[in-house]
Structures are given as C-alpha cells and as structure tokens.
Structure 1
Amino acid sequence: MTTRTDLTGLLDQVSADRMTDTIATLASGPLAGRRVGSPGGAAARAWLVDQLTALDGEMRTEDFPVRAVPQVYEAPEVTWGDRNGSRRLVFGRQVAIHPASADTVDAIRGALGVAGTDDPAGRWLVVPAEMSLFDAYRDIHGAAGLLIRRPVDAEGWQFTMLAGPDPGPLPVLTLDPDTHHAILAAAAAAAAEGDGWLDGATPLRRDDVTGTNIHARLRPPAPGAVDLLLTAHYDGVGDHPGLRLPAASDNATGVAVVLEAARILTAGLPAGVGLSVALLDGEEVGALGSAHHTTQLRAEGAAPLVINVDGAGRLDGAAAVEAGGPAHRLLALLDQAGRHTGVPLAAGPVASDNRRYGGAGFAAIGIGAGMGGYHSPADTPDKVDPATLGAITRLVVATAHLAGTAPATLASSIGDQR
C-alpha cells in the first residue's frame, strides 16, 4: 500500500485514537504529574524518547539547571474554629499553600485577625479580597501567617503554580472564596469576641533540580529551504501528597499533537523541507526549557519556523493564536491551513514556550485550543475532546505542508505581533 503525501492524504492519516492513547500514558499514575526534575518527569521523558526514536530521527537530550522548584512534601493539616465549633479544611479544595509561603513543618495555632486592621502579633491574618499580598506584608510583625483568597475551578479545585515569587517571611495559605468569606467574618467577629482561631502548617520546600529537553531532527533542510520546529512542553506541576494532578490537557494534549504531526510529516513533507521536534521541560517554572533551547539555536545560526502547541483539550469557538518574532509568513500559512481544514482561528494569548522563541527573534506561533481543570486534579484524560485533537493536528500538518509549497508572499488576517 502506497502512503499518499499530498495534503489530503496527509490529513487522512491523523489518528485521534493514537493521540488519546498518548495522553492516557502521560497522565497515568506512575508519571505522577511530570514535575520537572521528578521521577515522574524522567519516566515521561524515557517514554517520549522511545516514541521519537521510532521515527528514525537524530535524537538527543539536553540538561539545564532549575532552581528552587516549590514542592508540597506533606498534605497540610489545617483546622479553624470559633464558638460554633471547629472545621477541618480539605487540602486542594478549601485550602492550599501559596507559592510565596515560608516552609513550616509544625502546625502553628493562632487567633484570627484581619490584615491591616488588627494587631498582627500571634494571629493568622485574613487578607481581604481587595488587598494585595504586597500590601498585606506592610504590618505583619509577629504574625502567625496570612490567609489569601483564591478562586477555584468549576469542580471546586484550587490551581497549583510552580512559577512565582520568592518565599516570604510567613506561612501563607490560600482559601477558596466560600471558606475565605467565612473565616474573614469570623476574624472580624473575633476582634470583639476573641474566640476565632486557626491551626495549620505550610510544608513547602524548594528543590534545585535538573530539567531535560528532548530533541529530534527528523528531516534535515536543504540549503535555503524552510526548516520547521514543532514544540510542546511535557512537564506538569506534579502530584501533591494525596492529590493526583494528571496534567492531561496541560500539556499531554500538546505533546500528543506534536508526536502525531511529526509521525505524519516525517515521510510526507515536500522534498527539502526540514523538520525537528523539541519536547520541552520546565515550562511550568517559567519556560526555562525553551529559554535554554533558544540559546542553542542562536549559537548554531538556525532560523526555524516554530509552531508550539499548549492545550488542545477542547475547542470552544476559535483556536487561540499568538505570534512572536518575524512571523508574518508563518501566520499567513496558518491562516491558509485554517481555511483548508475548517479550524477557526483568532488572535489570543498563548502564554507558553512560543514566547521564548519569539522573544529570541525566531518566527514563532503558539496555538491553544482549550484546557479544563487548569493545574488541578480535574485535568484528566476524559476531559479531552478527541475531535479537538484531530482538528489541531490537521491544522499543524496543513501549515507545515503549505510551508514547503505555498508562494513566498501570503496575506494574514490574524495579525503579526512583534
């Protein structure tokens, strides 16, 4: 059987089932949320190397240092109470640890107070919703800790962040809106009645680890020909004690799209067009893997067209597209591919590795098509829409194919953000 290499033939090869299997593997329990520098991240990397090796490309991995990655090493036990009794808060839903928190192993018990109003000495200070953490720090001498309001997703989970501020001087806990409202009211009442209290710890350490990018050169470019680079980050924020964070949409979906597109394009691109894949680590701690890679590319004098996919879980309307660097032609190709495949596109923020490539002067676009349960236990494989996976992969495949066949000058209606 002869494999068709015309565009229609390439698009017919896209398999949502294959991508669904990839996502199930990357989001599985043994990979433990794929935090940078973790055993789960290493397991994901080994599996991905095997997938790319099967495409007969030139493989390599590149290490880079990552400093002070926050990690909750015990589930925090937090209880609060007043004259009406005590309540144990549910980790991940009602309470979590703020990334700016100091590390405290032993629980601290203190009376409740309101930041900026009450004497802070010995108190857990509830920070009003309209007050920033910076402003709350103005009067904290002797305080037991701070309690910050944080929104929750549709399933009631708080989100986890690895990139953020340096640790501050106090324990800092985050509360869901309902719990924050209740404890703020108790703190205000405690000023008169003196019976509101909270008992809790913030076991949050910061580890220096090694991140590792995965690179595969699948097709060398002919002199002066188009060179394509497909990218996605494979790391997640990692599991917490007692909480699974599968990281399915963010970003097992992007990895699945890139692997599927690479599998099709390796044999299907027009002659002379180059193709590489970079599966990046350390995105969740500040896009450090792509920052490391851009330095390498500039040193090599490379000039790839970069397509980054971050979040292809569920397309609701148009796919978001963000451009960086001299991306006008790449955007025009994407426009044409969107019209050909029927995928609507709109300019929108895609805050991911594409920004590192664009900032380094490479033509780069980021594509985002939705994610559920952002950085929470709700980001599970069953939330991923197979039709979205197929649509975004066809968009990437069509863009890459057109890069080798379309005229040098094309118009773009999406807009070139430089």
Structure 2
Amino acid sequence: MTTRTALADLLDQVSADRMAATIAILASDPLAGRRVGSAGGAAARAWLVDQLTALGGEVRTEDFPVRAVPQVYEAPRVTWADGFGSEELVFGRQVAIHPASADTTHPRRGALGVAGTDDPARRWLVVPAEMSLFDAYRDTQGAAGLLIRRPVDVEGWQFTMLAGPDPGPLPVLTLDPDTHHAVLAAATAGDGWLDGATPLRRDDVTGTNIHARVRQPRAGGVDLLLTAHYDGVGDHPGLRLPAASDNATGVAVVLETARILAAGLPAGAGLSVALLDGEEIGALGSAHHATQLRAEGAAPLVINVDGAGRLDRAAAVEAGGPAHRLLALLDQAGRHTGVPLMAGPVASDNRRYGGAGFAAVGIGAGMGGYHSPADTPDKVDPATLAAIARLVVATAHLAATAPATLSSPIGDQR
C-alpha cells in the first residue's frame, strides 16, 4: 500500500460523531466541570482510563501535588445602591470573585469610593479601568474591599480563572463593564454603598495525569506523544461550567486519533498518550510529566491539542523546543488535509514540553464561552473536530514515514 493510500484510509476513519459523544460525557453534570482534585475530575479520569484501556494501551496514572486551588464555596450575595435605588447583582454575570481575593464569609457593607482618590477607610473602592490591581493596593488601609472591571463574553458571562496572583489582604470582586461603569459613576459622585462577601478558599489537592503507551517504538524509530488536558475550572455553587471546548474537544481529538493510529501507524513507530490534569492552575500536569521524560532520557515528538471547538479562518500553531521538523510535517499535513494553519499563541501544556527541550507543537482551533457556563457541547462544531483530528492523524503518519518515500504532491495538495 502506498503512503498516500494508507494515509487516505486513515483519514476516512475519523468520526466527528464519536468525538461529539466523548465531549457530551466529559461535559455532563456528574463530572461537574472537572476541576483538579474534585470528584468530577476523578469521575472523568476513571472514564478516560477505560477508554484508553479499550485501545489496548498500557495505562497508568501518576499523582502530583497541587497547592492552593481557588474554590468558590458559596455563591456570593452582593447588593449595591445609588441615589436611584438598590440592586442585587447576578453571580457569574454582573459580579464574580477575583482569584486574588481574600476569603470573607460575612458580608461587608461600606460606602463607595474611587481607588487612589478617596479616603479608603470602610469603603468599597472602585478601581478605574486604567488602574492595575497592583496600583490599587497602594492606598487601601482600612478599606472594605476592591471592585474591578472584568469583560464578559457574548452571552454576558464573566470568565473564571484558577491560575493567578497570590491572595491579597482584601476582598476583591469583579464587575461586568456596565455595572462597573454605573458603580464608578456613583462613587465619583460621592453616592452609594455596596454590601458583599467573597467566600473563596484555597485547597491543597492531588492532580492525576493519565498515561497510555499504545505502541512501543523500535530502536531509532519516531516516538509520538499526543497530549491534551482533561481538567476544567470546575463548577461554582449554582453555576455549571461544562468545559466542552476547553478542553473536552482536545481530549476527544486525542482519543480519536489514538484509536486510529494504534493500528494505522507504520511498523516501528511509537505512540503514547498523556491526558493531563492541572492545566488550568498553571499547566502543572505537563510540567510534572516533562520532568519525568527528561529524567528517562526520552525524546518524543509532542502534539498538544487545546481547544478544537470552532475553526475561525485557520488553526493556531505554537512551536517549542527543537520543533523544526515537526512544524514542517504539520504544515505538510495541513496542506494535505486542507486545514489552514497560522502561527499563534497556544498557551497550554505544549509550552511545558517545549521548555523542557522536547520538540512540541500546540494546536488550537477556537473555543466558545471561555471558562463560563456558555462553554457547552452545542457550541462545538463537528466539522472543526473532524478537521483537527485529520490534521493530527496526517502529521503523525507523515512523521512515522521516512521523508525519502514522501512525494512532494502530498505537501502541495489542498
């Protein structure tokens, strides 16, 4: 069978329906957003172990410590007022808790003031949009807390972050742009008050990576490592954050391509899968794994997928480490499968592998409802799933094929 025919046969096996079914499971209620160290994360992990075992892989899990994971343990009730009346703000839309916030259980009520201008004592200080949090802390002695502007997505949700600065000395709430504008206007006029708490604890937990050796490489043969993070930012009280595009899509692509490549790679090529935990708290799972690989003297070609929800013009590609050959193969695969590629930031686990000296590329193809309740399975485009899976299959197959056997038309086709 020629290389071209073998690759075409593999690409024909890609199933968007199968990947969509994976996403529906990972984004389901029992998995509760898959935050690292949570029961939902453990449920996702058990299911994923079963999927990789079914591929015939040698599957194991690897634990690592994760410190100070932010957890909103109670939906905050926040009310504010100006001269026209009072309003209770909607958690997740109009108000949320900043990851640098101190943990406060009991509501604090105080007059509104402007950070850097008004006497801070017993006031909730509204931080102007052009002022950084660092600058806002300069004159906060005795303040009730800080109020910061935060953008919302097209559906009006604020995004959730786990990774971020260490907790500061004050409660910090984030307000959507419209609410921030109104509250700042009231504070500037010397009018109004706010009453609210910031129930945000930080837990030390255990993260767990999932590893599967699907095919052993022969001596001197190419060894491929497909990676994606399976954790999400997790649900909040009263708010579901399904984490469909980020990153159930990447996991679905990796499972689908591993299933196809397990039997479809040329003889002698190695294939491993790493489904990583703790990405949302600072890519800790990949940092742990990259350190292990270096200690073992391994030299895999790493392909990481983070966000395959909706392709907009071109897939973003970020390379790290000695990735020149891998980038050339990816470009060739993109031309062959008709997936346009562009250099762009993919701030994910690929950076940990590249920083450790491995040839690594990250692929991102869009995500809707970033870190919010809007990141639901119905936002995922099946054609994008299929396109990225085909791209990864083609890259892996070309990487495992001696360059001398590749005819140039493969790289030029669209």
Q: Which amino acid aligns with 2:360?
A: A
Match of 1:338 among 334, 341, 357: 334
SS class of match (1:163): coil
- 1:240 aligned onto 2:242: no
Equivalent residue, structure 1, for 2:350: 354
SS class of match (2:189): helix
Structure 1 gap segments, 5+ residues each: 412-418
Please tell me whether the aligned partners of residues 65 and 211 of structure 1 are also in contact (alpha carbons under 8 angstroms). yes
Q: How does 1:280-295 map to 2 (within 5 A)?
A: 280-295=276-291
Structure 1 pair 409/289, CA: closer, same or farther in 2 (3 Å)?
Answer: farther
C-alpha distance in structure 2 between counterparts of 1:66 and 1:328, whole Å: 33
Equivalent residue, structure 2, for 1:310: 306
Equivalent residue, structure 2, for 1:140: 140
Percent identity (aligned): 89
Equivalent residue, structure 2, for 1:212: 208
C-alpha distance in structure 1 between counterparts of 2:348 and 2:252, whole Å: 16
Equivalent residue, structure 2, for 1:415: none
Q: How does 1:90-105 map to 2 (within 5 A)?
A: 90-105=90-105
Please tell me whether the aligned partners of residues 329 and 409 of structure 1 are also in contact (alpha carbons under 8 angstroms). no
C-alpha distance in structure 2 between counterparts of 1:43 and 1:205, whole Å: 23
Match of 1:378 among 374, 377, 382: 374
C-alpha distance in structure 2 between counterparts of 1:244 and 1:368, whole Å: 24
SS class of match (1:74): coil
SS class of match (1:6): helix
Structure 1 pair 408/311, CA: closer, same or farther in 2 (3 Å)?
Answer: farther
> What is the root-mean-square deviation in Å for CA atoms of aligned residues?
1.3
Q: CA deviation at 1:189?
A: 1.0
C-alpha distance in structure 1 between counterparts of 2:402 and 2:106, whole Å: 64
C-alpha distance in structure 2 between counterparts of 1:180 and 1:320, whole Å: 33
C-alpha distance in structure 2 between counterparts of 1:339 and 1:308, whole Å: 19
1:350-409 deviation line (CA, Å, top 9, x unaligned): 000000000000000000000000000000000000000000000000000001114179
C-alpha distance in structure 2 between counterparts of 1:5 and 1:206, whole Å: 54
Equivalent residue, structure 1, for 2:45: 45
Q: Which amino acid aligns with 1:186?
A: A
- 1:11 aligned onto 2:7: no
Equivalent residue, structure 1, for 2:249: 253
SS class of match (2:392): helix
Instruction: Give aligned pairs, total.
Output: 404
Q: Which amino acid aligns with 2:376?
A: T
Q: Which amino acid aligns with 2:137?
A: Y
Please tell me whether the aligned partners of residues 5 and 269 of structure 1 are also in contact (alpha carbons under 8 angstroms). no
1:280-299 deviation line (CA, Å, top 9, x unaligned): 00000000000000011011
Please tell me whether the aligned partners of residues 32 and 239 of structure 1 are also in contact (alpha carbons under 8 angstroms). yes
C-alpha distance in structure 2 between counterparts of 1:57 and 1:152, whole Å: 42
Structure 2 gap segments, 5+ residues each: 409-414
C-alpha distance in structure 1 between counterparts of 2:293 and 2:252, whole Å: 24
Q: How does 1:80-229 map to 2 (within 5 A)?
A: 80-190=80-190, 195-229=191-225
C-alpha distance in structure 1 between counterparts of 2:61 and 2:170, whole Å: 39
Q: Which amino acid aligns with 1:100?
A: A
Equivalent residue, structure 2, for 1:71: 71
Equivalent residue, structure 2, for 1:402: 398
1:268-289 deviation line (CA, Å, top 9, x unaligned): 0000000000000000000000
C-alpha distance in structure 2 between counterparts of 1:228 and 1:5, whole Å: 21
Q: Which amino acid aligns with 1:109?
A: R
TM-score normalised by structure 1 residue count: 0.95
Q: Which amino acid aligns with 2:297?
A: G
C-alpha distance in structure 1 between counterparts of 2:240 and 2:167, whole Å: 24
Q: CA deviation at 1:83?
A: 2.2
C-alpha distance in structure 1 between counterparts of 2:280 and 2:381, whole Å: 23
Structure 1 pair 218/83, CA: closer, same or farther in 2 (3 Å)?
Answer: same
Structure 1 pair 93/409, CA: closer, same or farther in 2 (3 Å)?
Answer: farther
C-alpha distance in structure 2 between counterparts of 1:401 and 1:131, whole Å: 50
Equivalent residue, structure 1, for 2:412: none
Q: CA deviation at 1:103?
A: 0.1
Q: CA deviation at 1:82?
A: 1.9
Q: Which amino acid aligns with 1:46?
A: A
C-alpha distance in structure 2 between counterparts of 1:409 and 1:104, whole Å: 65
C-alpha distance in structure 1 between counterparts of 2:27 and 2:105, whole Å: 30
C-alpha distance in structure 2 between counterparts of 1:109 and 1:339, whole Å: 60
- 1:301 aligned onto 2:281: no
C-alpha distance in structure 2 between counterparts of 1:346 and 1:130, whole Å: 32
Q: CA deviation at 1:43?
A: 0.2
Please tell me whether the aligned partners of residues 333 and 399 of structure 1 are also in contact (alpha carbons under 8 angstroms). yes
C-alpha distance in structure 2 between counterparts of 1:134 and 1:299, whole Å: 39
Q: Which amino acid aligns with 1:77?
A: R
Q: Which amino acid aligns with 2:401?
A: T
Q: Which amino acid aligns with 1:116?
A: G
C-alpha distance in structure 2 between counterparts of 1:405 and 1:56, whole Å: 23
